[in-house]
Chain A
Amino acid sequence: MSKKEIEITNKLGLHARAAAKLSHLANTFNSDVFLIYNEDKVNAKSLLGILTLAASIGNNITIVAKGKDEKKAVEKIIELFENKFNEEN
Protein backbone atom coordinates (compact mmCIF):
# COMPACT_ATOMS: atom_id res chain seq x y z
CA MET A 1 0.00 0.00 0.00
CA SER A 2 1.24 3.46 -0.89
CA LYS A 3 0.01 6.50 1.01
CA LYS A 4 0.70 10.22 1.12
CA GLU A 5 -0.92 13.31 2.55
CA ILE A 6 -1.13 16.61 0.74
CA GLU A 7 -2.67 20.00 1.36
CA ILE A 8 -5.07 21.41 -1.21
CA THR A 9 -3.54 24.62 -2.53
CA ASN A 10 -5.69 25.51 -5.53
CA LYS A 11 -8.18 28.29 -4.87
CA LEU A 12 -11.33 26.35 -5.70
CA GLY A 13 -10.42 23.13 -3.89
CA LEU A 14 -11.78 19.80 -5.09
CA HIS A 15 -14.43 21.31 -7.32
CA ALA A 16 -16.04 19.67 -10.35
CA ARG A 17 -13.31 20.18 -12.96
CA ALA A 18 -10.53 19.31 -10.54
CA ALA A 19 -12.43 16.20 -9.44
CA ALA A 20 -12.93 15.22 -13.09
CA LYS A 21 -9.19 15.52 -13.74
CA LEU A 22 -8.38 13.57 -10.61
CA SER A 23 -10.82 10.73 -11.31
CA HIS A 24 -9.68 10.59 -14.92
CA LEU A 25 -6.07 10.25 -13.78
CA ALA A 26 -6.93 7.69 -11.08
CA ASN A 27 -8.73 5.59 -13.68
CA THR A 28 -5.51 5.23 -15.67
CA PHE A 29 -4.06 3.02 -12.88
CA ASN A 30 -4.84 -0.58 -12.11
CA SER A 31 -4.54 0.00 -8.40
CA ASP A 32 -7.47 0.87 -6.20
CA VAL A 33 -7.10 4.51 -5.28
CA PHE A 34 -8.82 6.26 -2.41
CA LEU A 35 -8.91 9.75 -0.98
CA ILE A 36 -9.30 10.26 2.73
CA TYR A 37 -10.44 13.53 4.23
CA ASN A 38 -11.34 13.69 7.91
CA GLU A 39 -13.19 10.44 8.43
CA ASP A 40 -14.44 10.11 4.89
CA LYS A 41 -12.88 7.73 2.41
CA VAL A 42 -13.94 7.86 -1.23
CA ASN A 43 -12.99 6.10 -4.42
CA ALA A 44 -10.66 8.42 -6.32
CA LYS A 45 -11.95 6.91 -9.57
CA SER A 46 -15.41 8.34 -8.93
CA LEU A 47 -15.93 11.97 -9.87
CA LEU A 48 -19.09 12.31 -7.79
CA GLY A 49 -17.46 10.43 -4.93
CA ILE A 50 -14.65 12.97 -4.81
CA LEU A 51 -17.15 15.83 -4.79
CA THR A 52 -18.84 14.46 -1.67
CA LEU A 53 -15.68 15.29 0.28
CA ALA A 54 -16.49 18.99 -0.19
CA ALA A 55 -12.80 19.65 0.40
CA SER A 56 -11.43 23.13 -0.08
CA ILE A 57 -8.18 25.06 -0.04
CA GLY A 58 -6.13 24.41 3.09
CA ASN A 59 -7.63 20.99 3.75
CA ASN A 60 -5.35 17.97 3.93
CA ILE A 61 -6.17 14.96 1.81
CA THR A 62 -4.57 11.54 2.11
CA ILE A 63 -4.13 9.57 -1.08
CA VAL A 64 -4.04 5.82 -0.67
CA ALA A 65 -3.36 3.34 -3.46
CA LYS A 66 -3.20 -0.42 -3.36
CA GLY A 67 -2.13 -2.52 -6.33
CA LYS A 68 0.62 -3.13 -8.84
CA ASP A 69 1.13 0.52 -9.76
CA GLU A 70 0.32 2.01 -6.35
CA LYS A 71 3.49 4.07 -6.03
CA LYS A 72 3.09 5.63 -9.45
CA ALA A 73 -0.58 6.33 -8.80
CA VAL A 74 0.13 8.24 -5.58
CA GLU A 75 3.07 10.04 -7.17
CA LYS A 76 1.07 11.23 -10.19
CA ILE A 77 -1.92 12.28 -8.12
CA ILE A 78 0.33 14.23 -5.75
CA GLU A 79 1.78 15.91 -8.83
CA LEU A 80 -1.69 16.92 -9.97
CA PHE A 81 -2.42 18.46 -6.55
CA GLU A 82 0.95 20.24 -6.57
CA ASN A 83 0.24 21.61 -10.03
CA LYS A 84 -3.05 22.96 -8.69
CA PHE A 85 -4.93 20.82 -11.22
CA ASN A 86 -3.33 22.91 -13.97
CA GLU A 87 -5.95 25.59 -13.47
CA GLU A 88 -3.82 28.38 -12.03
CA ASN A 89 -0.81 30.14 -13.45
Chain B
Amino acid sequence: MIKSLVITHGKLGNELIKVSEKILEKKIDIDCMCFDWEEDGSVIINKLEAYLNKNKKNQIIIFTDMFGGSPSNICLKHINSSTEVITGINLPGMLKYLTYKEKNLNFKELVKIIKQGTIDGINVLGEYLGEKKK
Protein backbone atom coordinates (compact mmCIF):
# COMPACT_ATOMS: atom_id res chain seq x y z
CA MET B 1 0.00 0.00 0.00
CA ILE B 2 1.21 3.48 -0.82
CA LYS B 3 0.96 6.03 1.98
CA SER B 4 1.88 9.67 1.82
CA LEU B 5 3.15 12.25 4.24
CA VAL B 6 3.53 16.00 3.84
CA ILE B 7 6.29 17.74 5.81
CA THR B 8 6.52 21.51 5.52
CA HIS B 9 7.63 24.65 7.27
CA GLY B 10 4.80 26.06 9.40
CA LYS B 11 1.25 25.08 8.54
CA LEU B 12 1.78 25.04 4.78
CA GLY B 13 1.19 21.29 4.57
CA ASN B 14 -2.08 21.44 6.49
CA GLU B 15 -3.38 24.17 4.19
CA LEU B 16 -2.32 22.26 1.08
CA ILE B 17 -4.32 19.27 2.29
CA LYS B 18 -7.33 21.41 3.25
CA VAL B 19 -7.40 23.11 -0.16
CA SER B 20 -7.05 19.77 -1.97
CA GLU B 21 -9.98 18.43 0.02
CA LYS B 22 -12.03 21.47 -0.88
CA ILE B 23 -11.27 21.09 -4.59
CA LEU B 24 -11.90 17.35 -4.71
CA GLU B 25 -14.82 17.61 -2.30
CA LYS B 26 -13.69 14.63 -0.29
CA LYS B 27 -11.61 13.73 2.72
CA ILE B 28 -8.14 12.76 1.61
CA ASP B 29 -5.82 10.27 3.19
CA ILE B 30 -2.52 12.11 3.62
CA ASP B 31 -0.59 12.49 6.84
CA CYS B 32 1.03 15.78 7.73
CA MET B 33 3.84 17.03 9.93
CA CYS B 34 4.52 20.71 10.38
CA PHE B 35 7.96 21.99 11.17
CA ASP B 36 7.63 24.35 14.10
CA TRP B 37 10.48 26.87 14.35
CA GLU B 38 9.97 27.26 18.08
CA GLU B 39 10.31 23.55 18.66
CA ASP B 40 13.53 21.61 19.12
CA GLY B 41 14.46 20.02 15.78
CA SER B 42 14.72 16.58 17.35
CA VAL B 43 10.95 16.54 17.95
CA ILE B 44 10.07 16.30 14.25
CA ILE B 45 12.99 13.95 13.56
CA ASN B 46 11.62 11.59 16.18
CA LYS B 47 8.08 11.96 14.83
CA LEU B 48 9.28 11.08 11.34
CA GLU B 49 11.18 8.03 12.57
CA ALA B 50 8.15 6.85 14.53
CA TYR B 51 5.95 7.34 11.46
CA LEU B 52 8.30 5.38 9.21
CA ASN B 53 8.62 2.58 11.76
CA LYS B 54 4.87 2.36 12.05
CA ASN B 55 4.53 2.17 8.25
CA LYS B 56 7.39 -0.21 7.54
CA LYS B 57 5.20 -2.45 5.43
CA ASN B 58 4.01 0.41 3.22
CA GLN B 59 5.60 2.33 0.42
CA ILE B 60 5.78 5.98 1.37
CA ILE B 61 5.88 9.15 -0.68
CA ILE B 62 6.93 12.16 1.36
CA PHE B 63 6.15 15.60 0.02
CA THR B 64 8.24 18.49 1.28
CA ASP B 65 7.99 22.18 0.51
CA MET B 66 11.56 23.01 -0.48
CA PHE B 67 14.65 21.17 -1.61
CA GLY B 68 17.41 21.84 0.91
CA GLY B 69 15.02 22.95 3.66
CA SER B 70 14.82 21.18 7.02
CA PRO B 71 11.71 19.14 6.13
CA SER B 72 13.61 17.68 3.16
CA ASN B 73 16.92 17.30 4.93
CA ILE B 74 15.54 15.24 7.79
CA CYS B 75 14.24 12.75 5.19
CA LEU B 76 17.55 12.21 3.40
CA LYS B 77 18.71 9.24 5.40
CA HIS B 78 15.38 7.47 5.05
CA ILE B 79 15.27 7.29 1.26
CA ASN B 80 15.24 3.74 -0.02
CA SER B 81 13.36 1.57 -2.52
CA SER B 82 10.08 2.01 -0.66
CA THR B 83 10.42 5.58 0.64
CA GLU B 84 10.82 8.52 -1.71
CA VAL B 85 10.73 12.28 -1.24
CA ILE B 86 9.34 14.81 -3.69
CA THR B 87 10.45 18.34 -2.86
CA GLY B 88 8.80 21.62 -3.80
CA ILE B 89 5.29 20.23 -3.66
CA ASN B 90 2.56 22.49 -4.94
CA LEU B 91 -1.17 22.17 -5.47
CA PRO B 92 -0.94 20.70 -9.01
CA GLY B 93 1.53 18.09 -7.74
CA MET B 94 -0.72 17.23 -4.84
CA LEU B 95 -3.76 16.91 -7.10
CA LYS B 96 -1.73 14.78 -9.52
CA TYR B 97 -0.90 12.42 -6.67
CA LEU B 98 -4.50 12.27 -5.47
CA THR B 99 -5.87 11.56 -8.92
CA TYR B 100 -3.25 8.95 -9.82
CA LYS B 101 -2.81 7.04 -6.59
CA GLU B 102 -5.86 4.88 -7.27
CA LYS B 103 -4.54 3.78 -10.64
CA ASN B 104 -2.38 0.98 -9.25
CA LEU B 105 0.81 2.27 -10.82
CA ASN B 106 4.08 1.00 -9.49
CA PHE B 107 5.80 3.16 -6.91
CA LYS B 108 8.55 4.57 -9.15
CA GLU B 109 6.14 5.33 -11.96
CA LEU B 110 3.79 7.18 -9.59
CA VAL B 111 6.67 9.24 -8.17
CA LYS B 112 7.75 10.18 -11.70
CA ILE B 113 4.23 11.27 -12.67
CA ILE B 114 3.82 13.40 -9.54
CA LYS B 115 7.17 15.08 -10.11
CA GLN B 116 6.15 15.94 -13.67
CA GLY B 117 2.72 17.17 -12.52
CA THR B 118 4.40 19.43 -9.97
CA ILE B 119 6.71 20.91 -12.61
CA ASP B 120 3.96 21.27 -15.22
CA GLY B 121 1.95 23.33 -12.75
CA ILE B 122 4.48 26.14 -13.00
CA ASN B 123 3.86 28.53 -15.84
CA VAL B 124 4.42 32.16 -16.73
CA LEU B 125 0.97 33.07 -17.99
CA GLY B 126 2.14 35.70 -20.45
CA GLU B 127 4.53 33.19 -22.06
CA TYR B 128 1.91 30.47 -21.98
CA LEU B 129 -0.68 32.62 -23.73
CA GLY B 130 1.97 33.86 -26.16
CA GLU B 131 2.81 30.30 -27.18
CA LYS B 132 -0.85 29.57 -27.72
CA LYS B 133 -1.21 32.54 -30.07
CA LYS B 134 1.71 31.39 -32.24
> Which A residues are closer than 8 A to B by beta carbons?
16-17, 20-21, 23-24, 38-40, 46-48, 51, 54
Contacts and interface: CB of A to CB of B under 8 A. Distances in A.
Contact of A48 (B24, B25, B95, B128): B95
Given A40-B132, A48-B121, A17 B25 contact: yes
Contacts of B24: 20, 24
A20 B117 contact: no
Contacts of A46: 99
Contacts of B22: 17
Contact of B92 (A24, A40, A48, A54): A48
- Could you tell me the dominant secondary structure of chain A's interface residues? helix
A21 B23 CA distance: 9
Interface in B76-107: 91-92, 95-96, 99
A9 to B, nearest CB: 21
Interface of B: 22-25, 91-92, 95-96, 99, 117, 120-121, 125, 128-129, 132
- Could you tell me the dominant secondary structure of chain B's interface residues? helix
Nearest to B22: A17
Given A38-B132, A40-B132, A47 B25 contact: no
A15 B133 CA distance: 21
7 contacts: A17-B22, A20-B24, A20-B95, A47-B95, A47-B99, A48-B120, A48-B121
Contacts of A23: 99
B120 A16 contact: no
Contacts of A38: 132
Given A20-B24, A48-B120, A54-B129, 17 more contacts: A16-B23, A16-B91, A16-B95, A17-B22, A17-B23, A17-B25, A20-B25, A21-B25, A23-B99, A24-B24, A38-B132, A46-B99, A48-B92, A48-B96, A48-B99, A48-B121, A54-B125
